[in-house]
Copies of this chain bind each other. A is one copy, B any other.
Amino acid sequence: MPTDRCQCRIVHEQQVEKARKAALPPAEIDKLAQFFKAFADPTRLKILQALHQEEMCVCDLAAFLGVSESAVSHQLRMLRQMALVANRREGPVLYYRLTDAHISQLVLVALEHIQE
């Protein structure tokens, strides 16, 4: 029995081809994964949910979350780089807000799913 090549386990070449055609380009996939990563951490989720109510400064968020201001600042940087939040300076204080309503919508859709 020839074991030289391709004891191919691909049962359904058609379905693989179909998936290939419908697939998003790798760059899009990576951007999507990065985007979801922003929501994949309890601290960041809490920040996003809090900012959905009202803009807040860093020490407000630190107090609300019960973590250090440094930790909040690191997470805010990440959220800023992903363009999920923006800030506004008033004297020495930076007020953060959500940039987009999609963000809350996404959380709502996810909530619907897990509450089943």
Chain A residues proximal to chain B, CB less than 8 Å: 9-12, 15-16, 18-20, 22-24, 26, 28-33, 35-37, 39-42, 45-46, 49-50, 52-54, 56-57, 59-60, 62-64, 69, 93, 100, 102-103, 105-107, 109-114
Whether the Cβ atoms of A42 and B33 lie closer than 8 Å is yes
Shortest Cβ distance from residue A100 to the other chain B in the assembled complex, whole angstroms: 7
Q: Can you offer 13 A-B residue contacts whose CB atoms are under 8 A?
A: A9-B62, A11-B57, A11-B60, A16-B56, A19-B53, A26-B42, A28-B114, A32-B111, A32-B114, A36-B45, A37-B40, A39-B40, A40-B40
Main secondary structure of the interface of A (DSSP, over half): helix
